[in-house]
Chain A
């Protein structure tokens, strides 16, 4: 069965999504166990696949038994395997943590919600594992449509935010499709490795240049790279907490993986960095993205919206790191995919716990939260330290690689932006923690000077245990960074990049 891991990791969630949809009409209580079992098997297959890749190198899996480029094939290498493991584990932990909040927010529609959840995870896993450019578009649309459905289930402004996300996301996906069409008309192939073989003769072709630009702009639209980020803050803020803690850590990171895959495998680094001279302008755009993300986050008085602007800045880190053009920068970008997924999951699970107990997430609602929910706030502190970049949490190490890559490439503006962003994150997070720790919880019961310490009203255990696992994971991934970089990421980057 281990030969079939590449197929199992998408098939088991896909089949179970249909079973969950059926169970939603017959017996609602079956939905959650089927979903947990499916995502558990997917996570197991992904980790097993990563271990196989570490042993054997690149794994090729032919769907339908046809050789590429006639049929669709999977190419699983170190980059794929690492991102697959991260996506599946994050989705699995989030599902367990969100059960109670789903049942609180839409008790009569849990069946369709779990269906969309599992389909979205299928779409994301499929995007990461596929080796065919058109197959990636179809899976992109699965992830997108299920995302629109999940995000629009929130409060009042959610449908409008989801519709704006739909417009920009569809433009992005259509741009990507157009880029693949331009590549197809000059190469005749849809398979990523095959295109990379045919492309070196065509480097001077204007069609290839246009295909590259259009594909990049499409992917940037979907990952919310400034100034194309306008959909992200509203879409993630007004969404239900189960949906936002699934989508926020994963969708932008998977799109960054797609960008790195396009740079490294389809348009080889030779083309992207040397033939085109766009690295410097793109790193400058990333600098602007980081600075604007930080400034816009400072202006917010609403915890969830502030975190979404932090995501915009993090996307700037990864895009800039990938386009620095050297090994340290690319290592930093890939390591940051892993770290940022975990950090974002941690803080969004905290917000989910807060919304479950308090129903609000503006700064005024957070007063005195430490006494009421000490464990949740402890995990929040670890997540905040990781986003700021304090050792030994993982955030420090990816920033270290990004900064050393910036120095090596001579892009000092990028290094300054990274340090500026860390300082702004210190201000942002310590402001929140101060409100939670030091300001007394204003009780208006009439006995004003009788401050009983608030009883602990912590979130239920199913919401706390995954949060602890993620927070511990942030520290563990930080400690084991050396292993991850040397055994996995080192082989994910082609030898040509210095």
Chain B
């Protein structure tokens, strides 16, 4: 197997390197890639879409169709992880373990009996490990600021590097930080599984729905200038607003899917303890 792998890798590498003889030099301003399509994007973005960040304009408007499918890819990965790992029909274990917070005593409660919910008793698993107070408190303090920054990244995608994907991942990371610093049960309480799954479908639905709305208003799919009549602005500004709407949809979808994939993979579908 090693020899076969070496032969394949060396021959493929040789073919690829041989082909670079005909490439333009690195960072050549006169390469075909720089002369053919990109001057249109660089010079005409401001007048056609009024969005200064050319990458966002190309991503969400000129090639917005690709981006819609990219969001669908991440959504389908979330659904695939769910369908592969999630164990839905699980019997509750016969006995449950509780810990008295003040003294640290572990109480095993047999089937049938229950402890009334109160702050003195903490439900634990057989896999439970005590969490550090410092980590818990610091993360709890930081998470709102992380989320605020994520919203800034989404909203400022027009003027600075950023956009839906980047902001969505940061939002997802804030909830995953909650899961890592506390435990998975806490983050599932904050963002329930059903809400998470529905949000992830809703995010991509916003994107595709905006495009379908443009189709229903008479123009082609994902032609945001059709929104000019709905938003009461001129077509160029309508494109800028359309880009913002789809970026919000992308942000919601990416956030929800990141949390969904993390919850499924880290708890291998059982949603009990996590990492």
Contact = CB atoms under 8 A, between A and B. Distances in A.
Direct contact of A and B (CB under 8 A): yes
Interface stretch (B95-103, B105-113, B178-186, B220-228): B220-228
Interface stretch (B35-43, B139-147, B162-170): B35-43
Nearest to B68: A14
A15 B16 CA distance: 40
Given A25-B198, A64-B223, A148 B69 contact: no
B69 A126 contact: yes
B32 interface: yes
A72 B24 CA distance: 25
B84 A213 contact: no
B220 A22 contact: no
Given A63-B65, A72-B63, A145-B73, A206 B18 contact: yes
Contacts of A7: 215, 220-221
Interface string B51-71: 000000000011111100110
Nearest to B222: A64
A64 B18 contact: no
Contacts of B69: 126, 135, 138-139, 142
Interface string A190-216: 100000001000000111111101100
A189 interface: yes
Given A63-B221, A72-B63, 19 more contacts: A15-B209, A18-B75, A61-B220, A63-B64, A63-B223, A64-B62, A109-B83, A116-B79, A119-B76, A122-B72, A142-B76, A149-B84, A153-B83, A185-B32, A186-B32, A188-B33, A205-B22, A206-B18, A209-B19
A474 to B, nearest CB: 32
Contacts of B24: 185-186
Contact of A18 (B70, B80, B208): B208
Nearest to A181: B33
B88 interface: yes
**Chain A to chain B: the 8 pairs with minimum beta-carbon distance, closest first:** A149-B80, A188-B36, A210-B19, A65-B223, A188-B32, A7-B221, A112-B83, A18-B201
B79 A115 contact: yes
B131 interface: no
8 contacts: A25-B194, A25-B197, A109-B86, A134-B66, A138-B70, A185-B33, A198-B32, A206-B18
A328 to B, nearest CB: 33
Contacts of B19: 182, 206-207, 209-211
A64 B37 contact: no
Given A15-B208, A138-B69, A210-B16, A21 B223 contact: no
Given A185-B31, A187-B36, A22 B221 contact: no
A70 B36 CA distance: 10
Nearest to A107: B89
A66 interface: yes
A108 interface: yes
Interface string A45-79: 00000000000000001111110011110000000
Contacts of B209: 15
Given A63-B220, A72-B63, A188-B35, A146 B76 contact: yes
Contacts of B66: 72, 132, 134-135, 138
A71 B31 contact: no
B172 interface: no
Contacts of B61: 64
B221 A66 contact: no
Contacts of A149: 76, 79-80, 83-84
Given A64-B220, A65-B225, A112-B83, A141 B22 contact: no
A141 B73 contact: yes
B82 interface: yes
A21 B65 contact: no
B205 A18 contact: yes
A415 interface: no
A184 interface: yes
A109 B16 CA distance: 45
Nearest to B211: A11
A15 B205 contact: yes
Contacts of B127: none
What is the size category of the interface that chain A forms with chain B?
Answer: 35 or more
A89 interface: no
Given A115-B79, A207-B23, A72 B65 contact: yes
Given A18-B201, A108-B89, A213 B32 contact: no
A116 B65 contact: no
B37 to A, nearest CB: 6
A311 interface: no
Nearest to B70: A138
A465 B83 CA distance: 29
B245 interface: no
Interface string B1-44: 00000000000000110111111100000011111111011000
B124 interface: no
Interface centre among A7, A208, A211 (most CB of B within 10 A): A7
Contacts of B37: 69-70, 188-190
Interface centre among B76, B219, B222 (most CB of A within 10 A): B76
A112 B33 contact: no
Interface in B189-208: 194, 197-198, 200-202, 204-205, 208
B77 interface: yes
Nearest to B220: A65
Contacts of B212: 11, 15
A184 B36 CA distance: 10
Contacts of B89: 108
B88 A108 contact: yes
A7 B37 CA distance: 24
A88 B62 CA distance: 28
Nearest to A106: B83
B198 A22 contact: yes
Contacts of B76: 115-116, 119, 142, 145-146, 149
